[in-house]
Amino acid sequence: MKVDNKHYCSIWHAETGRSVYVIDQRWLPHRFEVKELTSIEAVEIAIREMWVRGAPLIGAAAAYGMALLALSDPASAQLEEGAAFLKASRPTAVNLAWAVDRMLALLMQKDAASRAAAAWAEAAKIAAEDVAANNTIGVHGATLLHELALRLRRPLNVLTHCNAGWLATVDWGTALAPVYKAHAQGVRLHVWVDETRPRNQGASLTAWELGHEGVPHTVIADNAGGHLMQHGMVDIAIVGCDRVTASGDVCNKIGTYLKALAAHDNGVPFYAAMPFATLDMTLDDGVREIPIEERSAREVTHITGLAADERLVEVRLTPAGSAAANFGFDVTPHRLMTGLITEKGIYPATRKALAAACAKI
Ligand code: MRU
């Protein structure tokens, strides 16, 4: 998608095949910085410290991390150790483990001398597949938005949580791909952007993306969604996901569940956009089984923003002695989901539908 009218992906590799470039998302929307990563250690830091974030993007980044390791140290034991190292960096989004396991399985079939080239090609393939899946999610989701707009005969109000846009993927995004496609097709719409405390991915990243694509949007405090839904000001909610279980339970950024409850109470359709790489058919009950990342309390007690003199400054919000807790994700039970927008079409969030979708090529 576009930054100042120039096309960017969130990750791309150097032509030398020896490094990978990422947009360092920690400083957006105030500073646009590209970083070059040249080792698996650098990739692990970029994932853990959230220079890159979003389930599909951390999967693609981890795949490139494995490719960088295959260049420097292609022995089987080293690759296995590297895979475990990357998988421990963030536990909730299944895309990370999925991509690392896929890379490792492929590399173990190769002899050490051919591993680097194979790894590089596979990482590029994972990235390209992500772009293609999100593009198709966009097509299916835009049809849904178009039909809703025709029925309502007025501009649509779409609510989204966190950032499930192109910055969270390699390109297009998941939840925002339908918005971008529908907007380009002339569907009149406006996006309510949940700020998404504590890291504010909505206020800082989603708003920035939508602005660069010219999509009308308004940033709201996380607590505003229920009120807007009660007053008919939200026509549809579309969120991303970090892991979806076989039963259709959806794990996404903390606060998603509360929005789904409010949507259910007010008859607002509530969708998650899900590339199949985010489906974990090995788990069933999302609330009990999905590991929820707990991050530093400092993300709750402190906040970073632009000061009047244009410096980025961090300030404390809470009393020095107050404890804080920081759960990164929550699980929305499948009964609250209207559907899942996937690259294979739109499915109900049910065990039966997901099993059938998996069987479909
Ligand atoms: O902690 P983050 O910023 O990695 O969390 C991101 C989300 O929860 C997204 O909604 C999800 O990964 C879907 S991204 C297409």
pLDDT recorded at residue 17: 87
Q: What is the pLDDT of residue 75?
A: 96
pLDDT for the residue 224? 98
Cα(58) to centroid(ligand 1), Å: 9
Evaluate whether 162 touches 202 at the Cβ level (below 8 Å). Answer: yes
Domains assigned to the chain: 2-130 (1.20.120.420), 136-360 (3.40.50.10470)
Task: Report angle CA 182, 225, 252 to the nearest 5 degrees.
Answer: 75
Q: Which pTM was predicted?
A: 0.97
- Whether 350 and 248 have beta carbons less than 8 Å apart is answered as yes
Rounded Cα–Cα distance for residues 241 and 330 (Å)? 10
Share of the chain above pLDDT 90, in %: 98
Kindly give the distance from the C-alpha atom of residue 18 to the centroid of ligand 1, in angstroms, as a whole number.
28
Which pLDDT score, from 0 to 100, does residue 29 have? 97
Q: Which of these, 228, 187, 176, 204, lies nearest to 299 by C-alpha position?
A: 204
Q: Is the CB of 71 under 6 A from ligand 1?
A: no
User: What burial letters (b/e) apply to 250-260, b meaning 16+ CB within 10 Å?
Assistant: bbbbbbbbbbb
Confirm or reject: Cβ of 256 under 6 Å from ligand 1: no
Stretch among 14-18, 69-73, 100-104, 197-201 having the lowest mean pLDDT:
14-18
Helix (H) and strand (E) counts in the chain: 13, 18
pLDDT over 80 (residue 208): yes
Average pLDDT of the chain, as a whole number: 97
User: Cβ(224)–Cβ(266) under 8 Å?
Assistant: no
Q: Are 346 and 273 in contact (CB under 8 A)?
A: no
pLDDT of residue 360: 85
Q: What spacing in Å lies between the alpha carbon of 241 and ligand 1's midpoint?
A: 7
240: Cβ below 6 Å to ligand 1?
yes
**Phi, psi of 150, deg, nearest 5:** -65, -40
pLDDT exceeds 80 at position 231? yes
